[in-house]
Chains A and B, each alone.
Chain A
Amino acid sequence: MVRINVNGEERQVDVPEDMPLLWVLRDELNMTGTKFGCGIAQCGACTVHVDGTPTRACQTPVSMLTPDSKITTIEGVKGKAAQAVQAAWQKLDVVQCGYCQSGQIMSAIALLTDNQNPTDQDIDAAMDGNVCRCATYVRIRAAIKDAAQTMRA
């Protein structure tokens, strides 16, 4: 049995230790908001927060986590940055297919939690690990700036 803390709740799962957090979330806990895109930490669709740090769940074996590691998924995000980001995403209709957007939003929340006035270079650096095949990048950039403005206000 492995004990993990997801969105503030302790969960016990009976899985092999090498199983990545991604599959624990999706297949064991039925939390499907976190997506499988590449499996090798190249697309960011599986981005969650572990103790606030954006983390690729597909390359995080559950054995790397402790029961104290605070895992936050798209289903459990809250707070000022999360609200501002999700509101900006909705205001600007960022999404197209939407499959990558959980990961995009998790990365954007982490960026804005640390930096409420990101430059274009900051946005490139924080978001280059998140692939969007629909290429919604123009709106992601605009939404991050919009959310940053909301947070500064």
Chain B
Amino acid sequence: MQNYISSKLKTNTNDGRKRLIGILLFIIILALFFSFNRLPKLDIVGEDLSAVTSPGQQCFQGFCIEREEGTSFISKWVTFSTTYLRLVTVGMTFAFVIAGLSEAFIFPPNSTRGFESGSWFSRTIKGAAAGPVMNLCSACIVPVSSAFHRRAGVEGALGMVQGSATMNIPALSMVFFVFNPLLGLSRLILAVVGALTIPPLVALTIKKEPQQKDLIDIVENNTILESILPWKTIFIETLREWSKITLGYLTRMGPIMIVAGFASGLAIQWLNPGIVNTYLGNNLLGLAIAATFGILINVPLLFEIPLVALLLLLGMGTAPAATLLFTAAAAGPVTFWGLAGILPKKSIASFAISTWIIGFLGGLIVLGVGTILWKDTQPLKIQMQQSKINTYSDITETSGVNFTTNSNLQNYNNTGIVILDFDNDSFEDIYIINGEGPNELFHNQGDKSFLNVTKSSNTYDINALGTGGCAADYDNDGDEDIFVTNQGQNTLFKNNGDGTFSKTKTNILNDNSHSIGCAWGDINNDGWLDLIYTNHTNNPVNSIKLFINTKNNEFEEFNSIKNDLTNYINNNLKILQPALIDINSDNNLDVVIIYKNLNTNTLNQLIWINQIQTLNNQKQINLIFNKEFLLSPEFDQKSRVKKIYFGNNIVISETGEVNLINNPILATFFRHFKIGWGAINFDYNNDGYDDIFISKNPPDYDQESNNSNQLPIQLSINEDIEKFSPILTENIPSDNTQINAVAYSDLDLDGCLDIVVSPYKAPLKIFHNSCKSQNNWLNLKLEGKSINKNAIGAQIHISTENGTQIKNLNTNVGQASQSSSKIHFGLGESKSIKSLTVFWPNGKISEYKNIDVNQHLSLSEPRE
């Protein structure tokens, strides 16, 4: 038996012994390589794919399309190239080591055994079969295939390159996972066709190689003459050869790999959606360019997949994708350069050309087949998820809104945004309050464009130092009026109903304090909107002003909370934004005030629960101070929408559980919010769960605590009630602008909420929601009859197959600002609304059944 094994393995020869040692070493190294590099690499490819398919920002190996401004070309190039080189370093090391091992141990120059030389077909098959075992990129496999070339010729060497780079199992598995079956199948077929046809085609173009048989005869004679050396001697001698050959590959190919990495990085930098759409479409030009581009770049093993996925998302056609998926993997400049060491130049040219042709023809077939199959299919499976993600684009430039804010934040003169529909045309307009300069009103034209109507509407307040504002129909004449908080006397713009406003003189304006934010709400349920606003002042009694609307343009100050203010407010508390919200679902609006504690540098809220009493047939407000109300565990939990009061930016909606501190994820947000200014909650993707948008805080905010941290603009996706996904900054085109205020509205009535942000001493920005989501929605406009016309304080319950949602009509969202006065429900995949119930502020209830989704609905308070 021993003799049989010995004769089979030829261990009675020096080469046989070398080969056996080499094979054992190869198995060990291969096992280590797979364990520590190839298997973890699947995760890296996965991360790249996640980055590629993340909404709004596509990245491939550190290079991101639409990268934020300020990243220089050189920086992007170096980042991409170094990432590329990092990815190939371990693979190349393995390749050099295995190439040296092959040459020294497995196929020594005078080798007599190994893979039989056989016919061209046999050699091709052997190369193509050995390649996937190596699992290296086309450039990395070259050293090994060079060694293999000794025994298997051109066909074997090229078969090994093709097999390793295009037919490896992870790549073939992943293409089916990532792409649709057509692309996956085309990649598989092109890989097999390429590995079987390119090697013999190339061999045909060059002169006949020295006969393998001749070589064998020579070395066999040498073998007969040599003496058999001990295992140890053979091992040590060949170890030296192995080291020498490996280092030779390193010095010859290492520098060219570095150059190639930077060259590929340079080529990638020119990718942008415009170029991809223009030159990589589903046409012959697209196929030709894809084939050429694929030949001109080297990618690390498997990384052709995220690259192609990225280009597909940028607009590349499916047919060029099929071409590129093959050619990018199959060969590249480094591959050609490496093979030029063992093959004639003519064969390198024929290798490149044949790879190009097969890639092109493959794309052509996909183009033909695709025209039959493509109708409703996406080339990228992951794109199906991508298509459901709403993204935002900056439409400021085309919107006609040209407004640069001017504010002095050290005086808390932020530039609030008020969303209102001043002309009742259903398209909500934008009123922007300027810190130091005239305010401006932009009329929504309905087509994502706006007209500056400040002068014609008489809404500029040229000498005022503006802070915030709130709009509502306080005089119940059917149109929204605007109250503006100023540093100094505030302003009340009464809507004349004809597109113009008049400055009104009322007793609520007899206050020259530095006001911050305001809110309208019918706190005594008499059908007339009352006003609350906050002041920066050292006098606690004057810090919160609540005025009851006594009709006829007159207000009466509500003084009963002044004892609470005297007892609680001190110089360490900086009062910020007020809100009137029914937080305990008793149909009475309660008072919420956000303040900043300068000692602890945290934000918190003061709560007054409104327990209206009826005395002598008259309703009387009874505000009960309850600072800890929001942390009460028995708080209403019937809503699946969380009620979150964050920072100075409040709102966030509605009824629901509020025990935020026990939720680590939300607690994190809570900490963040202590320095964020503008924050809004809204269902940006119509999935039925409110999301949170936080704006970057102004630069000199928190100066008291020397806290110079600045939040980025960020949108946090609420995927379900327990999980806010990691902050996704890429949904909002971000820059370095700090934001004072933010508001939302469905400005173009497309069913998705857009965002308006007011930056610090920079142009106002409007971000349009792409509304790509397949999710359904409902947008409600409520109109009061016997109650306030805006129906502020109404609560709406809707029931769908996915459960119940509850929202309150409250517009004060975010610091010094006001968002849409419509109520927007995201419905996810729900096809209809089983029931819709409106609890009007006066206690009336309206019930509706089987409401269609995806509509803007106006509901009026019933007469009876």
| A and B interact | no
